[in-house]
Chain A
Amino acid sequence: MSEEIQNSNVKQKNDKNKVSQSYWSLVWWKFRKNKLAVVGAIILAFYYITCVFFAEFFAPYPKDLESDYLEARPTYFQFRDSEGNWFLRPFVYALDEQIDMATRTRTYVYNTTVKYPIYFFVKGEPYKLLGFIPAETHFFGTDPETPDAKVFLMGTDRLGRDQFSRLLYGGRISLFIGLFSVIVFLFIGVSLGAASGYYGGATDIIVMRITEFLSAFPQEPLFLALGAAVPVTWPSPRVFFMVTILLALIQWGGLARQVRGLVLSGREEQYVLAAQSFGASDRRIIFKHLIPATMSHVIVIATLKIPGMILLETALSFLGLGLVPPTVSWGTLLQNANTVRAIRFAPWYLFVIPFILFSIMAYNMLGDGLRDAMDPYSK
């Protein structure tokens, strides 16, 4: 008897291999065909490698290392010198300080007679890779034998810190915040939405009233007010944690409503009724049947939510109401650019904008592709 069943199972399996695929492999197939989404995924992978995981390696300098060059202009990679000779190995020019007596400002000019070649995998400041592997190698840098040589791909700030390195470290915080707050957002939204849809009654009424209440607030002004309420005296990890929670807290309402709707219709499905009649516990039905059925929908919402979270954090910190220095995030780095003077005399502070925009676009592209792919049966 059991052998027969096994046989028929094997037979079914073989049939499946021929004509059908699992849901997730169909999703993967459809996703791969969407070029824009794949590009988005690649860009994001690049961000996570260079910023989140290996910022120490890709950044030529530690984020707090102060050099003697204050608000110096970027020294870009050069391949061609002032005499018109081409070089295969990129180099940077030295910077000469100039004081403009009339305006009493300090500027830097390229000294085209001094060239510092760029080396890859050079020895630099020691660091701990991934937080525990001691290392000294940086992806690129100047010759460690000549201590005068510096490379500031995107200029320096008022304390002479390399902006490019800080942008990588800042990306770590900003991308982390986006990811963490979405995880908290998912946790609150899915659990409350599922509870509300499954139990109904008082639970449902209370949860739905709260979401209505939240939607009565305009999101941005509310978030700014909450951010301002975080005490300035708090240590930075706590502020980071708080901002993450706040981001999730003001936004879960919409997700909870959608999950509730999905669970409400899922509750009437035959497989759920079957599980109930077998005496499955509520917990088992919710976690094994109802929530997994909402997952494809939820993943798409989450992906499309991350860029909004990153932007809100950036805006909050830019206004000085969120993360504050010494925490390095894209928002706190953008703070440098909030005066007309800074934009006129140190426009390289604006390099943070493309960093933000590309990550946001990549998330949007990925999310849009996932939305199409999650419904692989449609043409």
Chain B
Amino acid sequence: MGAFIIRRVFYAIIMLFVVSFVSFVIISLPAGDFLDQKIAELEARGDRSASQRVDDYRERYGLDQPLLTQYWLWISNFVQGDFGLSFEYDRPVRELIGQRLTLSILLSLTTLTFTWAIAIPLGVYSAVNQYSLGDQIITTIAFIGIGIPGFLLALIVLYVAIVILNQDVVGLFSQQFKDAPWSLAKVWDLMKHLWVPALIGAVTGTAGTIRIMRGNLLDTFGQAFIESARARGLKQRTVVWRHAVRMAITPLIIILGTEAFPGILAGNILVEVVLGLPTIGPLYIQALTTQDMYMAGTVLVLIVFLLLVGNLVTDLVLAWIDPRVRLE
């Protein structure tokens, strides 16, 4: 087991380096230096000290050096927690991401809760009453749900809210709470906004989860221990929830590691953009549009990092559960 863990961790670290380098190259691909633009802009305004500051940045991040040097400067600071500077905001990337991280985590947790609260009972119902009318309806809805992308759904929700209900659903706070310090009223205001993107995320995520849950549970029902539980005269509810669901839910744990974990940063970028949420997704898109390279690069590398860590943890958990995996 020890050798297995070391091998996997080593592998993940190597992968992280390669991926971060490629991310850096992709992000710095766009022709034209963002700083050149900035300097021209500042000089047009006659701001000489700012131009001096930009030159300082250029030196500090080695922007006139070859790409490899730039990458090395950036990544060696990165591992120490200095993600570089957002040229757009003129502030450290770390600070900007930190500001939005709480809300991003909150949103992804709420979405996950909604998804599972909807999907697991529906999946169980579908499997227990296979081929019943309810199962057919759930399966059909799940089939349609897989096809509907979140950001189109978000646009439809916006339309219904704005044009038909005349409600404000954009953002996560009402106008008066936007810059207010935290208070009970602000939390309540957040709750009133948060459920919309969470539900949109849940609706698009539910479909797949229902399918997985239904399939797994149907497989589990065929196994001997379920039969023995029934033979012992246990109630149907106990057999289903205590014995079958407990087994069938394991693959969802894998999803937790490989999808929900990296989803903290990039769960539903497009939905967040459409609804104008103060989370990390829109920050990433803005950074890509304005070629704010350290900002975009940091978000991309952090997402990859979470994905790799999620995969690693999942692998380890699986290896712990199933010895065949680690002996392979």
Contact = CB atoms under 8 A, between A and B. Distances in A.
Contacts of B163: 343-344, 347
Nearest to A310: B149
B159 interface: yes
A245 to B, nearest CB: 14
Given A224-B288, A347-B159, A350-B159, A229 B30 contact: yes
Nearest to A36: B143
Most chain B CB within a 10 A radius of its CB, from A218, A318, A334, A337: A218
| Size range of the chain B interface in the assembly | 35 or more
A60 interface: no
A321 interface: yes
Given A229-B30, A343-B162, A353-B156, A221 B284 contact: yes
Interface in A159-216: 212-213, 216
B300 A221 contact: yes
A343 B166 CA distance: 12
Interface in A328-379: 334, 337-338, 340, 343-344, 347, 350, 353, 356-357, 360-361, 364, 368
Interface residues of A, number: 38
A226 interface: yes
A226 B22 CA distance: 11
A353 B147 contact: no
Interface string A223-242: 01111110101000000000
Nearest to A368: B143
Contacts of B304: 216-218
* SS class, residues of chain A in contact with chain B: helix
B229 interface: no
B149 A311 contact: yes
Contacts of A353: 152, 155-156
Contacts of A311: 149
Nearest to B31: A231
B280 to A, nearest CB: 11
A34 B43 CA distance: 67
B191 interface: no
Interface in B7-29: 15, 18-19, 23, 26-27, 29
A229 B284 CA distance: 14
A213 B19 contact: yes
Contacts of A340: 158, 162, 170
Nearest to A224: B288
Contacts of A226: 26
Interface of A: 212-213, 216-218, 220-222, 224-229, 231, 233, 307, 311, 315, 318-321, 334, 337-338, 340, 343-344, 347, 350, 353, 356-357, 360-361, 364, 368
Given A218-B266, A226-B26, A360-B149, 16 more contacts: A218-B307, A221-B266, A225-B300, A227-B288, A229-B27, A231-B30, A315-B270, A319-B270, A319-B273, A319-B289, A340-B170, A343-B162, A343-B163, A353-B155, A361-B147, A364-B143
5 contacts: A216-B15, A217-B19, A225-B288, A356-B152, A364-B146
